[in-house]
Amino acid sequence: MTTSEAGIVVSVCGSPRSARIALPSKRPRARMPASSQWPSAMCSIASSPTRIDRVAAAPSACCPSRSNPTRRRRGRHEPLRVGRLRRAWTADLRWNVCVSSASDVSQEDAAAGPTAAWARTADEVLEAFQVSRDGLTSVGAAERLARTGPNRLPPAPRDPLWKRIAVHFDDILIYILLIAAVLKAILGDWVDFAVILAVAVINAVVGFVQEGRAESALDGIRQMLSVSAEARRDGSWASVGADDVVPGDVVRVRSGDRVPADMRLLDATNLRVEESALTGESVAAAKRVDPVNADAGVGDRASMLFSGTLVAAGQGTGVVTGTGAATEIGRIQTMISEVEGLETPLTRQLDRFGKGLAVLILGMAVVMVLIGRLVHDFSVSELVSASIGFAVAAIPEGLPALVTITLALGVQQMARRRAITRKLPAVETLGSVTVICSDKTGTLTKNEMTARTVCTAASVYDVEGVGYAPVGGIAPADYVAPGGGGPADHQDLVAVTETMMLCNDARVVGDGAGGWRLVGEPTEGALRTLGMKAGVDPRAWSRLAVVPFESETKYMATLDRGPAGVVVHLKGAPDRVLDRCATQVAADGGSAPLDRAAWEEQIDSLGARGLRVLAAARALPAADTSTLEAEDLDGGLELCGLVGIVDPPRPEAVEAIRQCRDAGITVKMITGDHAGTAVAIGREMGIVDQDHHGRAGTGAAPAVLTGPELEAMTTEQLRAVVCDVDVYARTSPEHKIRIVSALQAHGEVVAMTGDGVNDAPALTQAEVGVAMGVKGTEVTKEAAAVVLADDNFATIERAVEEGRRIYDNLRKSVLFLLPTNGAQSLVILVAVLFGLTLPLAPVQVLWINMITAVTLSLGLAYEKAEPDVMQRPPRDPGAPILDAVFARRILVVSLLIGGATMFIFYTDYAWGVPVAEAQTTAVTMLALGQLAYLFSCRFLDRSSLTLDVLRGNRVIWISAAVLLALQVVFVYAPFMHDWFGSAPLGLAAWGKTLALAVGVFLLVEVVKALGRIRSSHSTVSSYR
């Protein structure tokens, strides 16, 4: 990098198509950050000398893109902005400079570039990193480590502690609560000031403890990285810490190893890698050395190994192309940190409600002051006292605590139903969910490959049971396969299951807790379990030789000695096996000519059902044969049959999906699996209707959208179809975020479920992220708002029901609490407007607010679900927490309780009762009136004139008892007389207030009945 009078000149080296970029001298010299990571795809600039501010116009610029240097992000295209210079290692150990946008170029964009590591030969990648197959020297590795930094994910910048705490006070209801505290301080009542302030602090502490998932998600993702690696250093293999692996290291992995970094394969032998946590694939991916297309998705980059994935079988070596944040898992970490959290429906509603309430209080206070001063000529001190009393009366001090405690109680209730909530607002948000976007593998399915069907020349057999547990029988199906008769003695079945059992390296063992655990590759585990169900005893056989599975040949063969002598057993892809067969096993176990057309018909039939098909064959070599080579398998084999394998749906998930549909919730499957398999599973689970082959305007094709098709869509095009597509296949993490965002653009409230790393960004984007607790990765659990303790999709349905119940109870609690404030503020407002004596002192207003909020309203949090809770559609997330009907009820109840309070106060006052005693009677009227109204609030719309109102919730009675006990203390305790200005009451006063409270209850029931009549008339009119 040099400078001249013309400006800064950047030399780009390491590529035959090198170029120079002239930077304007006005721009400062680009500084390379010492912590830069090695990119997994090398970039070069192929253009003539160009001003850097014109690079965006050069189609051959190094910054990767599809057809022009625009940056694709979350479905939007934005012009390339001149940003920081990014360095990449070149063949001559000099830095190759690439112009990138202000943010890192995504892996998806890099895939489109001509120099993607997976699209280059192994030798080209080695040359680019200036390394040979003998690896790095210790000195060279140390130098690179000093440049790139350790191979671990950097922690995200964290806000200081004070800021993370302060954010939980950033809520309009908390502002109102703090205003109430300030007003109490102005009044000089420091005890009550401390109480109100404590409520605000407790509310913030609960939120602080429950939230903070972003930092935890990043910590969880770091735990997935391996702790050691086998790297070639100084010409020999050595064990090094995973943190010390650097780009250019040659690393060896074997079965059971966790891949330490992103690697380009150099050699691979029978190598298969479990990538389901990253790609969503339920089958271990076969790896090979050959380059793949530059635009291949993550799941199709067969020449790459990705950091954090698990080697299921075989071994291989590769050169490290990316470490730390430059790996695929590091890119997902960046995506998680960049996704912005959304407000939930409850937070939006409470925010609107709080703002409206604040404006109303301010407006009414101004009107009250003007009338009191201009009409009644009150003194300034009197008006200040009255204004403070009105504000204290109108502000629902207990509402924030009520919401927080109700949600916290909901968390406990959901935990008992196996749904662990990590974020409080998610409890009620579940109740408003309109769409559940579910990952397939491990969520809707068991993530345990299972043999579903066995096809022989004579019969088709159905296999019972799911997963690796060897439980279930094998019985002939109701139909007969083409080319054969009915089942006879099942010798044909024995031939298939015996071959699949013996030509197998997996083991299925008990886990000591009544379950079964797989040791090996999932597909082989399914075949092993099939053999166990069929009663095949592998102990009667001994293996003499093996031809391992290779991605090029797509078969595995073994030479085994057993009761039938020496036998060659072979399993693999049906087309490769059929090419090597001349005969087929007959129903009686004998031999018959191969009917290839019939077998190909069966293969197509099984594939159409979404099954992965494997074929089994055998041969009888000479009795003294002890070796087996690939050349021995070129022909002359006898085809035993086919096995159809699937990752089976969870049986309980099918019923859960049906219940979700009844509740008006759409379930969509988003998976990394192939389209055919995804649609077949979708039909089986009820996500796609059995008789549905397309939608209006889509022809006869199934309602499925693949990742490449989604990739080609603009954001507007995706939004146009997103609501009509039931199944999304071959998706990447970015696709999932785009799908969720497109649904949210239609106003949908989205819950995203999943268990793999690839699901974490979308879980963060969705209103409710739901992770699997048993098989889910730590990343997903920490990014989710809800974790299912039993990995049961049916638990989601129960969680939705619980969320709806909790929201109903929140509405009941708010519907109960607000008339208290309405009645109190009405009493003070009327007194000021008409120049009367205040029936309530400000401190007494605070008392009645707090005891009703802490006792009575909390009892409603324990109410059971309404009978129709899962038969009604999801509530409109934009609808207010209180609709017009409830607002009218609050107004009426406020008038009733407030009117009763004013009546009893001014009556006593007119009869010469002392003010303190009359005010105490008024406070008691408010307490008993609220208690009577509580029983009416137990049922939102149904009549409370039933014995059901007296049973079903013992907490109501406990709350009522506590309220009465506190009110007795208020009336008779001397210290309460000093603090609150109360006075003892006689039995007559209690009798009057109790009678008026019963009257309030009956009148409220009349109001509810009128509402039901009006609602029924509206319903009838809508049908006319």
Catalytic positions: 439
515's tokens? 């379950």
Contact 258, 820 (CB under 8 A): no
Name the CA radius of gyration of the chain, rounded: 36
Q: Hey, which residues does 572 pair with through a beta bridge? A: 555, 615
Please report, as a single letter, which amino acid is at residue 187. L
- Calculate the alpha carbon distances from 714 to 138, 718, 892 in Å: 49, 6, 52
d(CA 490, CA 459): 9
Number of other residues whose CB lies within 10 A of the CB of residue 627: 9
d(CA 620, CA 616): 14
Residue carrying the six token digits 């210290």: 975
Contact 337, 331 (CB under 8 A): no
Residue 157 buriedness (CB in 10 A; 0-12 / 13-18 / 19+): exposed
Strands 516-519 and 507-510: antiparallel
d(CA 572, CA 557): 9
Interhelix angle 884-910/915-937, rounded to 10 degrees, is 150
Please report, as a single letter, which amino acid is at residue 305. L
Q: What is the DSSP letter of 855?
A: I
Which phi and psi (to 5°) does residue 986 adopt? -90, 175
Contact 437, 766 (CB under 8 A): yes
172's tokens? 């309009």
Strands 2-4 and 768-772: unpaired
Residue carrying the six token digits 């969320």: 803
In the Cβ-directed half-sphere of 196, how many Cα atoms lie within 13 Å?
Answer: 27
Which phi and psi (to 5°) does residue 10 adopt? -105, 120
d(CA 1022, CA 487): 61
Strands 768-772 and 262-274: unpaired
Tell me which residue of 713, 799, 666 sits closest to 75, measured CA to CA. Answer: 713
CA dihedral 315, 318, 322, 328 (to 10 degrees): -40
Contact 101, 61 (CB under 8 A): no
